[in-house]
């Protein structure tokens, strides 16, 4: 089965693009959502996170306090690396199990750091979703209810779009200059022909 990645910086709209593929009947694995589920349900992962970052990263309902954890890891590259080393191997195993259950002509794995963590090497194609930096900042501030400084801090922890471009098979421009749906349909047709 053809494995395709969708990636892009924070606020680029990769989840929106993935939803368009989903409406076309393509199975989409959202790595960030699955990672959240794993941290909520896997006792070993939770224990390692508490050991590294303290019990306060889980709230009174014993759910991961993502805002608190983000505060720590997005201001400390080493802490972010340690968190990724705990969660990403579990996500990789989960993704392998998920693929085995899929029947669409190709599958999509959506994740913010497919290139940074080397996962793109396990995929057959990569779609990069790009958008204007200011537009991305506004989107994230509105979506997450956070201030500009925090968004910029998160962006600074991600690879720049120009650097990601060399790994991309396809690029989708999501800053209102072109219709996203038309771009998705063109890529979809190309992927269907390659999968066939």
Q: Which long-range contacts (CB under 8 A, 24 or more apart) does 88-91 make?
A: 88/35, 88/117, 88/119, 90/35, 90/38, 90/42, 90/45, 91/31, 91/34, 91/35, 91/38
Query: Can you give the pLDDT at residue 156?
Result: 86
* DSSP state string for 62-130: S-B-HHHHHHHHTT-HHHHHHHHHHHHHHHHHHHHHHHHT--SSEEEEE-TTTTTTTGGGGSSEEEEEE
What the block records as the tokens of 140 is 């994230």
CA distance 37 to 180: 29
CATH of the domain at 63: 3.40.50.300
pLDDT computed for residue 68 by the predictor? 83
State both tokens at 40: 């909520």
- Please tell me the predicted confidence (pLDDT) of residue 115: 93
Q: What is the pLDDT of residue 171?
A: 97
- Closest alpha carbon to 167 in 109, 126, 195: 126
**Residue-range definition of the domain harbouring residue 70:** 2-195
**Going residue by residue through the chain (196 aa), what tens digit of pLDDT does each one get?**
999 999 999 999 999 999 999 999 999 999 989 998 998 889 999 999 999 998 888 887 778 888 788 888 877 888 988 998 999 999 999 999 999 999 999 999 999 889 988 899 999 999 999 999 999 999 999 998 888 998 998 898 889 999 999 999 999 999 877 889 999 999 999 999 999 7
Measure Cα distances from 24 to 19, 161, 184 in Å.
Answer: 9, 26, 10
Total domain count, the chain: 1
pLDDT for 18 equals 96
Q: Which residues pair with 7 in a beta bridge?
A: 128
DSSP state of 132: -
Q: Which residues contact 95 (CB under 8 A, 6 or more apart)?
A: 29, 31, 34, 109
* Contact yes or no for 141/151 (Cβ under 8 A): yes
48 membership: H or E segment, kind and range: helix 43-53
């Amino acid at each position: 089965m053809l494995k395709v990645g969708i990636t892009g910086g924070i606020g680029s709209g990769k989840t929106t693009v993935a939803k368009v593929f989903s409406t076309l009947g393509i199975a989409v694995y959202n790595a960030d959502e699955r990672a959240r589920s794993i941290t909520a349900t896997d006792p070993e992962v939770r224990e390692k996170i508490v050991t590294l970052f303290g019990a306060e990263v889980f709230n009174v309902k014993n759910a991961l306090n993502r805002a608190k954890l983000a505060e720590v890891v997005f201001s400390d590259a080493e802490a972010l690396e340690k968190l990724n080393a705990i969660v990403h191997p579990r996500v990789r195993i989960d993704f392998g199990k998920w693929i085995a259950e899929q029947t669409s002509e190709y599958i999509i794995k959506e994740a913010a750091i497919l290139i940074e963590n080397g996962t793109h090497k396990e995929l057959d194609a990569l779609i990069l979703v790009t958008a204007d930096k200011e537009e991305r900042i506004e989107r994230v501030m509105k979506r997450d209810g956070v201030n500009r400084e925090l968004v910029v801090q998160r962006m600074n922890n991600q690879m720049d779009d120009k650097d990601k471009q060399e790994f991309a098979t396809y690029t989708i421009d999501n800053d209102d200059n072109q219709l996203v749906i038309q771009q998705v349909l063109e890529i979809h047709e190309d992927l269907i022909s390659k999968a066939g």
